[in-house]
Amino acid sequence: MFGWLSFPFILPAIPFCRCGSLFSYSDFRLHACEFFKIICQRKRPLDVAIVEYDAAMSNIFQLLMNIAQDFLVRSKMQPNVIDDNEYEFAMCICETMVALGSSNMQCILADVARTLHFLQQMLEYYQHYKITLHFQSLLFWLVVLREPSKAKSVARVSSDTPAAGNSASTGGGSTEREKKGVSVLITDEMYSTILDVTFKRMLKKSTSASSGLLELWSEELEGKSDFCNYRAKLLDLIKVIASQRPGITATSIVQRINIVFGVANEATKSSQDLDAMEGAQLGLEAVVSAIFDGSSDYSKIDQDTKFQIHRIFEGLLQQLLSLKWSQPNLAVIHGHYLDSLGPFLRHYPDAVACIVNKLFEILTSLPITIQDPSNNFRQARLQICSSFIRISRAADKALLPHMKNIADTMAYLQGEGRLLRAEHNHLCEAFLVMASSAGIQQQQEVLAWLLEPINKMWTQVEWQNAYLSDPSGLTHMFADSQFMWSIYHNITLFEKALKRGGSKKSAAAPQALATTVLLRCIHMLWAEPFSQSLAGEVKAAKSMTVAEQTSLLGETNKLTKGQVASADGLLDVQREGESKENTIRNWLRGIRDSGYNVIGLSASLGDPFFRCIEGSSITAALMENVQAMEFRHLRQLIHLVIIPLVKYCPPELWRMWISNLLQPLFVHCQQALDFSWSSLLREGRAKVPDNFGNLSGSDLKVEVMEEKLLRDLTREVCSVLWVLASPGLNSGLPSLEQLGPANRINSSLKDLELFVSSSITGFLMLNVSTAVPALRITVEVFSWTDSEAVTKIIPFCGALIHLAVATNRAELSQFVAKDLFSSILHGLSVELNSITSSELVGLCREIYVYLSDRDPAPRQVLLSLPHMKQEDLLAFDESLSKTASPKDQKLLMRSLLLLASGNKLRALVGQKATNVITNVTTRNRSSAARHGLSAEEDDHIGLAALSS
């Protein structure tokens, strides 16, 4: 409709006065406004039309400002007489002004008075009680106040000090102004006003008489944004102003804090007051971060401003230190205010000691209530401990001189029984953060100090015999809640320590070994015959959590009862209304998650871990009951444990570790995956062993979850094969180019044994009991309709081909030349594999080029294709002999395959490249069971059926 607006020379000729006259007609004014909005979004031209363009835009500025002025005056004087239609028109005008000011501010910069008038109007919009008008103005101020390099569209002016009474400037003065920024025209009073409004609007609901005059949030805005994004924009604006006017911003936030604190009598604080205090705390955090830890360099601020800022925050700190709040919700807010000052401590470390002492004072003022149905006090205590972590991150080295005092206080409180295990873990994590700022040596010393008591506990034979000698002992642990959660916190602390800075072998070995023994007992809870003898609550606890189910179904994964909340510290008690079943389920899942991480992270240490621990004991404990594991647990074990162990195990220890891990894993996975995929493709249901709990009447959901679990496990198993083919673990495996021409004589081939120490794939092929199930999985993947699994298996196929070409192992050569070649061709018949078709054709080319002279199988496989003729194959051989280019040979192979299949290799023909859930479609189930499913029956996504 407005395509002609792309021609800049037409713009000045537009009769804006006539279009602007439509604003006086209620039926046409919105359309006119939309027209002007499109005009205002244009960018200023760089050619000779700039003068005419600026003149036209200046006229639009004046037109819009006149309309805005009338509305703003009437909304102040008579707000009750303005109806919804007028507000809608006002919002459209405001949007147009935002577009104009953001893209074409330079068009009125020659007139300082008009520029100031425009800025004042945008400030009034920002102050407006209507959220829609305020929100539009917020977008404008974000653009205008940002650094010039981040807002190139915003014009720049030169004057450092605005003069409200200046008359219009003309000529070269405007060009000089454009070198600086519009922000220099913004007075300190305007900055203060913006900050005042911003701090008041940090909340979603009205909280007091003053903020009650504001429409703080409106569901009308939900379509454009949500409250979290809106508040993030407010915080961004605060940070921008703080970086430019730190003194003004510091003064403004402290004034806001004094207002929301009011009389510091906790008994009179309402929930609305708490919301206002939390909003002001977010503002404080943004201000302190921008001034002391932001993009601006604090050291470059002038001394007078520094002195002012220091005095302001010192006063605030003294105010915070004088508070004596004991209610748990107020204590949490108090702690957040203190840790918001973390970046301030970086530059003023003298304040560290008083803040540390105050946090411990708040912590000890909150009682330890084991039987606390609401967990308010326990949660508040944990939040105070978390404040230590946040301050440690923000204050950097400022806390180092106080580490001994913190450690002594921790030891004292723990000795008196006034520090719970979860709280101790939080403080230990803070210690690790502090130590990391001092360098690796001190971090290792702190780590050793923190882990020493835990290692002593893990090495105690008594508790291992009592609880871990067999699964029945583990069920006894469930009756001892305190000890049960102490074990959990020990493992999570070590997990955090490993994630933060690694560990010495002396610390990693006993932890990993004891964790493995614990995991072995947990695995046995699913194994027969012990599984049948479990108490009802333990048996029920093995079912999937609601959170896991919603995740599998692709629904919103909100924290629900029964889901472990990471490091929330509230897992060591039974929550209000929570059953013993859920408590045990949380513990089992938490131990499994952290336990797997501990072993995987320990493995990443490499030699120090593998050489100081008995490999056979760990592999036996992990794999003893692998056949009883549910798919979700097996996938997790592979991802977090098996893959790191395979990746980091030294080659000389492969026999001890890799064989014992992969043989039972591949045997079980091959059988389990083959069964489930056969069931899915023939009957439309995967039939996985996972326990979904009570989902009666939800067969459709169960089917979708089963297929999701099957695909996830399939891809994870293929990831193991992908790792086995990685170059780092196959350094001795030559490339095909290194192997030379295809017609090499057999005497040049090497024994497979020569590769066992330099190629983990070669090592795997020498162990028949491990190799056979791995090879079966490899060929079967191409018949399963999962293109992601095929993508992961391709590198392993390439490694097998290289080994077959380089060695004299006849069985391997025959497998590659016949079985693998046939399977890859079958994979090309699945349209979903079109995304990897080039790689698959490349594998076919390698097999044929390098093995067809040694083995008749590649030619036989190609001749078995329905449209392949002998003369076509001879012509193909002749074409191959004329080029040594792998690229050209791949093109020849692709053309041959299309010809030989009659264009039935759908991966080469189609371009569909997405994976889908296939088990829930509109197909007839009985028919699918009778006739089987084609690989192309993938057009319906199962998850979509749930939303219908």
DSSP string, 565-592: PTT-S-TTSPPTT--HHHHHHHHHHHHH
Query: Residue 902, exposed/middle/buried by CB under 10 A (0-12, 13-18, 19+)?
Result: exposed
**Amino acid symbol at 12:** P
**Structural domain includes residue 647:** yes
Residue 174 maps to a domain: no
d(CA 571, CA 141): 45
Same domain, 593 and 646: yes
Residue 615: inside a domain: yes
The kind and range of the H/E element at 45 are none
Measured in whole angstroms, the distance separating CA 168 from the mean position of its chain's CA atoms is 52
Residue 576, CA atoms < 13 Å, CB-side half-sphere: 7
CA distance 429 to 392: 9
**Cα–Cα distance measured from residue 734 to residue 726, given in angstroms and rounded to the nearest whole number:** 13
Are residues 375 and 568 in contact, defined by beta-carbon separation less than 8 angstroms? no
* Rounded Cα gap, residues 759 and 766, in angstroms: 11
Residues 755 and 870 in one domain: yes
Low-confidence ranges of the chain (pLDDT < 50): 1-15, 17, 148-173, 175-176, 179, 207-212, 506, 558-577, 743, 745, 911-948
How remote is the C-alpha of 95 from its chain's centroid?
34
User: Is 102 within the bounds of a domain?
Assistant: yes
pLDDT in tens, 416-443: 989 988 899 899 989 888 888 887 777 7
Q: Domain total for the chain?
A: 3
Q: What are phi and psi of 313, to 5 degrees?
A: -75, -30
Whether residue 682 is found in the same domain as residue 731: no
CA dihedral 497, 498, 503, 508 (to 10 degrees): 110
Comparing CA positions, the residue from 542, 552, 633, 627 lying closest to residue 581 is 542
**Domain co-membership, 814 together with 746:** yes
First vs last Cα of the chain: how many Å apart?
A: 37
C-alpha to C-alpha distance for 657 and 620, rounded to whole angstroms: 10
pLDDT of the residue at 921: 36
Helical ranges in 341-439 per DSSP H:
342-347, 352-365, 376-395, 403-415, 421-436
Burial class, 613, CB count within 10 angstroms (exposed 0-12 / middle 13-18 / buried 19+):
middle
Task: Specify the 3-state DSSP secondary structure of 750.
Answer: strand
If asked whether residues 639 and 743 sit together in one domain, one would say: no
Instruction: Give SS3 for 807.
Output: strand
Which 3 state secondary structure label does DSSP give 538?
helix
Question: Are residues 394 and 339 in contact, defined by beta-carbon separation less than 8 angstroms?
Answer: yes
Q: Give a yes or no: residue 618 inside a domain.
A: yes
Query: Is residue 529 located within the same domain as residue 658?
Result: yes
In-domain check, residue 944 = no
Question: Residue with structure tokens 């450092």?
Answer: 160
Q: According to the model, what pLDDT value does residue 507 have?
A: 57
At residue 218, the 3 state secondary structure works out as coil
Is residue 411 situated within a structural domain? no
Same domain? 30 vs 128:
yes
Per-residue pLDDT, 326: 84
Contact by Cβ (8 Å): 452, 416: no
What are 103's two structure tokens? 């893209």
List, in order, residues 6 or more apart from 893 with CB less than 8 Å away: 841, 844, 845, 848
Contact 847, 816 (CB under 8 A): yes
What is the Cα–Cα distance from 632 to 908, expressed in whole angstroms?
34
Instruction: Centre a 10 Å sphere on the Cβ of residue 866 and count the other Cβ atoms it contains.
Output: 8
Strand partners, 807: 750
DSSP 884: -
Residues spanned by the domain of 851: 726-912
- Whether residue 744 sits in one domain with residue 672: no
- As a whole number of angstroms, the distance between CA 378 and CA 363 comes to 10
479, containing H or E segment: none
pTM, full prediction: 0.75
List the beta strands (DSSP E) in 167-261: none
User: How far apart, in whole angstroms, are the C-alpha atoms of residue 734 and residue 172?
Assistant: 71
Amino acid in the structure at residue 767:
N
Q: Final residue of a domain: which of 689, 716, 742?
A: 689
Nearest C-alpha neighbor of 800 from the set 851, 841, 744, 728:
851
Q: What is the pLDDT of residue 245?
A: 92
C-alpha angle 561-517-636 in degrees, rounded to nearest 5? 50
Cβ–Cβ contacts within 10 Å for residue 380, how many?
Answer: 24
816 with 800: CB under 8 angstroms?
A: yes
- The total of other beta-carbon atoms located within 10 Å of residue 776's CB is 18
3-state DSSP of 631-667: HHHHHHHHHHHHHHHHHHCCHHHHHHHHHHHHHHHHH
- In whole angstroms, give the CA distance from residue 751 to residue 803: 10
Please give the pLDDT value at position 742. Answer: 52
Half-sphere exposure of 289 (CA within 13 A, CB side): 19
652 and 800 co-located in one domain? no
Task: Kindly report the backbone phi and psi dihedral angles of residue 807, in degrees, each rounded to the nearest multiple of 5, phi listed first.
Answer: -115, 170
Tokens describing residue 320: 């915070």
Contact assessment for residue 342 and residue 391, using Cβ atoms and an 8 Å cutoff = yes
Give Cα 78 distance to the centre of its chain. 49
The span from the CA of 653 to the CA of 650, in Å, is 5
Q: Which residues pair with 750 in a beta bridge?
A: 807
The reported pLDDT for the residue numbered 180 is 54
Q: Could you identify the residue written with the tokens 């583990």?
A: 474
Place of tokens 């609550």: 537
Whole-angstrom distance, CA of residue 194 vs CA of residue 645: 56
Structure tokens at 614: 């008995």
Tallying the residues shown for the chain, one arrives at: 948
Is the separation of the CB atoms in 78 and 35 below 8 Å?
no
Residues 771 and 676 in one domain: no
Q: Does residue 250 sit within a domain?
A: no
User: What tokens appear for 404 in the block?
Assistant: 């001994």
Q: Are residues 660 and 762 in the same domain?
A: no
Contacts of residue 711, Cβ cutoff 8 Å, sequence gap at least 6: 786, 788, 789, 915, 917
ω into residue 373 within 30 of 0, thus cis? no
pLDDT of residue 167: 36
Query: CB count, 10 Å around CB of 698?
Result: 15
Between CA 890 and CA 502 the distance in angstroms is 46
Report whether 391 contacts 377 (CB < 8 A).
no
**Domain co-membership, 782 together with 846:** yes
Distance CA 800, CA 792 (A): 14
Beta carbons of 374 and 356 less than 8 angstroms apart? no
Phi first, then psi, for residue 341 (nearest 5°) are -85, 5
